[in-house]
């Protein structure tokens, strides 16, 4: 039986990335804290044995879409138990990651636990995406906006695109059937100032799941 560190390193290698022993220690400690807390607070429904693949490796597929020229400002909208934001912060130590969620209990857990595990370049924010986007500090404010399992594509674009800088990207993590969600959204994307640049399709290592990363470039400031 492989250790979680081995599973993580091997999975990342298949995705084309490397992890340092320190980063691996931080992330496996984070999973352990999540498991313990999850026994009293419902933070995730994913079973413990799938945390490395379905939480860490799945989150880190987004590295395939994220520009290599860090430091970047990244926001994870609807971070929940910290995914994909916390693994991204661990692997991109010079970038700054904002972990946004509408549920205070989750934001508190995620920020506190990430910091305790040595992942310091992340900050929890308790708000809703559509509220944050009305604030000058956050509107058009991020190089990269990521999100997993939060809303269907059209709603997600309304929430995410206003937070991206002009020239920045939105990365929507979707499963099979994403084509149907995307269909007919050209005029919505145009109104929001965005354009689909590419869809990255990748098998999730250690599973039979296929992940689709829809990458939307913000070309202009969108209509309010
Ligand atoms: N991204 C995590 C959690 C998904 S569950 C994961 O994939 O594991 C969806 C999360 O989005 C919930 O924690 C919920 O509180 C949050 N959420 C839903 N709508 C939101 C909004 N408009 N703004 C911010 N957070 C939102």
Three-class DSSP labels, 166-213: EEEEEEEEECCCHHHHHCCCHHHHHHHCEEEEEEEEEECCCCCCEEEE
Helices (H) and strands (E) in the chain, counts: 9, 7
User: Which residue carries 């695109």 as its tokens?
Assistant: 161
Mean predicted confidence (pLDDT) in 64-83? 96
> Is the pLDDT confidence value at 224 over 80?
no
Closest CA to 219 of 201, 193, 198: 193
Give distance in angstroms: CA of 100 to centre of ligand 1: 8
3-class DSSP state for residue 154?
Answer: helix
Give distance in angstroms: CA of 36 to centre of ligand 1: 21
Q: Is 80 near ligand 1, meaning CB less than 6 Å away?
A: yes
Give distance in angstroms: CA of 129 to centre of ligand 1: 9
d(C-alpha 89, C-alpha 96), whole Å: 7
Over the chain, what is the mean pLDDT?
97
First to last CA, the chain: 53
- Contact call for residues 23 and 94 (beta carbons, < 8 A): no
Question: Facing residues of 195 across strands?
Answer: 217
Mean predicted confidence (pLDDT) in 82-100? 98
Q: Is 30 near ligand 1, meaning CB less than 6 Å away?
A: no
Confidence of residue 17 (pLDDT cuts 50, 70, 90): very high
* Ligand 1 nearest-atom number relative to CA 84: 1
* Ligand 1 nearest-atom number relative to CA 128: 23
> Is the pLDDT confidence value at 207 over 80?
yes
**Cβ neighbour number for residue 5 with a 10 Å cutoff:** 15
CATH superfamily of 4-218: Vaccinia Virus protein VP39 (3.40.50.150)
CA angle 111, 135, 127 (to 5 degrees): 35
Confidence of residue 223 (pLDDT cuts 50, 70, 90): confident
- Contact call for residues 85 and 146 (beta carbons, < 8 A): yes
Mean predicted confidence (pLDDT) in 201-208? 96
What's the pLDDT tens digit per position in 140-182? 999 999 999 999 999 999 999 999 999 999 999 999 999 999 9
- Which residue has the CA at smallest separation from atom 16 of ligand 1? 78
Give distance in angstroms: CA of 223 to centre of ligand 1: 24
Give distance in angstroms: CA of 101 to centre of ligand 1: 6
Q: Can you give the residue ranges of every domain in the chain?
A: 4-218
Q: What is the pLDDT of residue 101?
A: 98
d(C-alpha 196, C-alpha 57), whole Å: 24
What's the pLDDT tens digit per position in 121-142? 999 999 999 999 999 999 999 9
Q: What is the pLDDT of residue 135?
A: 97
The helix (run of H) or strand (run of E) holding residue 124 is strand 122-126
- The residue whose CB lies within 8 Å of the most ligand 1 atoms, and thus the one to mutate among 101, 105, 126, 127, is 101
Joined tokens for residue 136? 């000058």
CA angle 96, 188, 170 (to 5 degrees): 20
3-class DSSP state for residue 140?
Answer: coil
């Amino acid at each position: 039986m492989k250790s979680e560190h081995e599973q993580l390193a091997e999975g990342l290698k298949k995705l084309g990335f490397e992890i340092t022993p320190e980063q691996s220690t931080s992330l496996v400690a984070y999973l352990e804290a999540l498991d313990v807390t999850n026994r009293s607070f419902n933070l995730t429904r994913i079973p413990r044995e799938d945390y490395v693949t379905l939480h860490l490796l799945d989150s880190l597929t987004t590295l395939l879409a994220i520009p290599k020229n860090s430091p970047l400002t990244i926001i994870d909208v609807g971070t929940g138990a910290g995914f994909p934001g916390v693994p991204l912060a661990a692997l991109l130590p010079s970038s700054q990651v904002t972990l946004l969620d509408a549920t205070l209990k989750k934001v508190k857990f995620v920020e506190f636990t990430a910091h305790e595990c040595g992942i310091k370049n992340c900050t929890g924010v308790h708000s809703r995406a559509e509220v944050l986007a009305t604030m000058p500090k956050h509107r058009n404010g991020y190089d990269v906006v990521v999100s997993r399992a939060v809303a269907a594509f059209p709603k997600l674009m309304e929430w995410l695109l206003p937070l991206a800088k002009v020239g920045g990207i939105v990365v929507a993590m979707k499963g099979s059937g994403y084509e149907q969600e995307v269909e007919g959204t050209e005029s919505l994307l145009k109104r929001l100032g965005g354009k689909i640049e590419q869809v990255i399709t990748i098998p999730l290592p250690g599973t039979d799941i296929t992940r689709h990363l829809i990458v939307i470039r913000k070309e202009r400031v969108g209509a309010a």
